Amino acid sequence: MKVDYIIAGQGICGTMLSYYLQKAGKQVLVIDESQPFTASRVASGVINPVTGRRVVTTWMIETLLPFCFDAYTEIGNAINESLIFKKNTITFSPSLQMDETYRKRMQETGSYIQELPDAVIWKDYFNSLFGCYLIAPTYLVNLHPLLKGWRKKLQHQQCLLEEIFIEEALSFAGNTVSYNGITADKIIFCSGITSFESAYWNKLPFVCNKGQALILDIPGLSHINMYKYGALSLVPWYDGLWWAGSSYENEFQTAEPTAVFREQLTTQLQHVLRIPFSVLDHVAAVRPATLERRPFVGLHPSDSRIGIFNGMGTKGCSLAPYFAKQFANQLVHGHLLEPLADVKRFSRVLAL
């Protein structure tokens, strides 16, 4: 069997890259073992134009917001699913200091923070001592139907191998790479945190960042909005439930959910929410993050038969579609990549 590209991994990265490569008329083979707790399956799917305690504007967001809307609509049409929804986020200041930050940001030109006209009604649902504001626009991406629908399409086209990808089974000859009888021009690593252990990529400054979330039933809380209370986000989940999280752990023993997180978040929710809720599930996964918070995209500086599309950190939903298209354009048409994302910036480290 001969294809143009073998893609290891079908999270958001492998999904979007295989989509754009197929759209450009290329043959792909995606290899993905079906794992329930990957970063893309556990993520809430929010695209937020502001980030962190300092409420700063997210990198490249002016470009990414309209791009993402079109990209998810387009791939949604290909699999008959509605994948992206514009939802406002109502954000509560957890402290006076945070309140001052929101007020300051609100004054800035082109701010994504606005005064909330009907702030008072949220007081029935949330214990809010300080101000509350609107972050707009924010988007919610339904990752589960995206991953499932695209996987089904790949299966139908016989472009999916549902098994563990084993790097040691790769062999190289001339301009091609082979994997268990399949020959391709290139192999692209989209395997999330597993790529950290790859002999080709393990020198990159990856960071493993664990995130945990609780799945809640909160009868009476409308799914029209998303909510934020400091670092805590409440996001509409599937089947009328809510996703509450998450943690950002750089040090952890296992990728499994922990009792400590569950207890701490449940206590916090009891303080934050004025309405009853129940905890139905607890999920956790490790984000493939990077030290300088920029993705790793492109071909290996020492071997152009090997590529990587990874390192999306906390922003896979907004970064993956845009950089998947850039990477596909580079592979197919030789276009340049955004230098801050291009893995070529680590040429020296990777050549060692």
Chain residues binding ligand FAD by CB under 6 A are 9-14, 31-33, 35, 38-40, 42-46, 164-165, 190-192, 194, 211, 213, 245-246, 285, 287-288, 310, 312-318
Q: Measure the CA dihedral 108/111/113/117, to 10°.
A: 90
Q: Which is nearer to ligand FAD, 131 or 151 (CB)?
A: 151
To ligand FAD, the closest distance from the beta carbon of 67 in angstroms equals 14
Long-range contacts of 95-99 (CB under 8 A, 24+ apart): 95/130, 95/230, 96/130, 98/53, 98/130, 98/230, 99/130, 99/131
Which CB, 22 or 44, lies closer to ligand FAD?
44
Tokens 């993705």, located at residue: 295
In the complex, the smallest distance separating the C-beta of residue 330 from ligand FAD, rounded to whole angstroms, is 18
Instruction: Tell which residue, 237, 236, 258, 238, has the closest CA to residue 247.
Output: 258
* Nearer Cβ to ligand FAD (214/299): 214
Query: Least separation, in Å, of the C-beta of 340 and ligand FAD?
Result: 17
Nearer to ligand FAD, 72 or 92 (CB): 72
Whether omega before 137 lies within 30 degrees of 0, making that bond cis, reads yes
Q: How far is the CB of 233 from ligand FAD (least distance, A)?
A: 7
Neighbours of 127 (CB within 10 A): 12
89 or 194: CB nearest ligand FAD: 194
Nearest approach, Cβ of residue 310 and ligand FAD (Å) = 5
SS3 265: helix
**Nearest residue to ligand FAD, by Cβ distance, number only:** 11
